[in-house]
Structure 1
Amino acid sequence: MIPLDGEVLNDISRIHADRVAGYQRAIEELPDAEDNDLRILFQQYIEDSKAFMTELATALEKMELPVPGGSTPMGKIYRAWMDIKAFFTGDERQTILNSCEAMEDAVKKAYESALNQPGLFPEIFELIKTQNKQLQKAHAQVKRLRDS
């Protein structure tokens, strides 16, 4: 049985794997060369998520817990994420930004849920809190672009 801290870190790591896939898909869907600003931004978000996944894996390894793999059972935060995760449904800039904002909304909710889990080790709470601050900036940036 994986302790709560491990379950939360596993869930968040899976969410970042989905975020990477979502932004890779968004890059593929961008129709025009003039959308290069979004390609650069989305690539940065991919790199951020990969860095977060590395931090999460390091925390799991320190706790001597397994790093998420395809066969690891899904925890409640990840199940909630799967329930609200957005899929890309078009190839226009506005549609892609709408989908990206929905994805960032889901990430935000998952992190809020993680931060509200009682009994997390203080260092795990701080790691999640620090990542959340950076993710909130990404969310705000995507929302600004969507609304412009």
Structure 2
Amino acid sequence: MSALTAPAARAFNDLVEINKTATKGYQEAAEGVTDPQLRSELSKFSQQRAKFASELEQKARQWGVNTKQEGTVEGALTDAAAALHRGWINIKSAVTGHNDSAILGECETGDATALQAYETALRSSDLPVEARSVIQKQHGDILSAKNWVTQQKGRVK
């Protein structure tokens, strides 16, 4: 199996960071909502994103990419990853108000930003077929989660 190109390695690093941030964001959201059904689903999404990060790290290692590098171009967050982090930062203020709709809105924003990062990665011609397959599946799962969150946000107004 050949090594990934530098742009593809950066995409993997970014997606790992995005999923780690989403893991924390969804966990905070689960802890902040009052509705037990929401709490359960948001916790599942947190676990899902942790699994995604782990899966991406494993695939990256297969291609010789160290996703734990810091201070290198490959380890640096891109604008998309930084934007996702900013999107999830607002979850803390929503959680302190214990407003389920506001919390879901922040989850929705975080997922929208994650989807953009996944779509950017998928537009890359540098991704091996196996990598593209993993990223496409995760993108679909994140889109499903975002759609569920959007539906619930309308329900809990």
TM range (shorter): 0.7 to 0.9
- Partner letter of residue 7 of structure 2? L
SS of the residue corresponding to residue 129 of structure 1 reads: helix
Distance 1:100 1:57 in 2: 23
1:110-141 Cα deviation digits (max 9, x unpaired) = 11111112321111111100111111110110
Q: Superposition pairs for residues 29-44 of structure 1, below 5 Å? A: 29-30=32-33, 32=34, 35-44=35-44
Question: 1:145 maps to which residue?
Answer: 152
**1:92 and 1:83, CA in 2 relative to 1: closer, same or farther beyond 3 A?**
closer
Two-structure CA RMSD over aligned residues (Å) = 1.9
TM normalised by structure 1 equals: 0.86
Q: Does 1:81 align with 2:111?
A: no
How far apart, CA to CA, are the structure 1 residues paired with 2:122 and 2:99?
A: 35
Give secondary structure in 1 for the equivalent of 2:66: coil
Conserved? CA contact 1:15–1:81, under 8 Å: yes
Aligned length: 144
**Structure 1 unaligned regions, length at least 5:** none
Instruction: From 104, 111, 121, give the equivalent of 2:118.
Output: 111
Per-residue CA deviation, residues 1-45 of structure 1 (Å, 9 max, x unaligned), is: x72221111100000011011112112222x3xx11111101110
Q: Paired residue for 2:105?
A: 98
Structure 2 length as normaliser, TM-score? 0.82
CA distance in 1, matches of 2:23, 2:141: 15
AA aligned to 2:16 is S
Q: Secondary structure at the match of 1:97?
A: helix
Amino acid paired to 1:18: T
Name structure 2 gaps, 5 residues minimum: none
String of CA shifts for 1:41-89, please: whole Å, max 9, x gaps.
0111011111111110111110121023555322344244346555123
Moved more, 6-15 or 21-30: 21-30
Alpha-carbon distance in structure 2 between the residues aligned to 1:25 and 1:79: 19
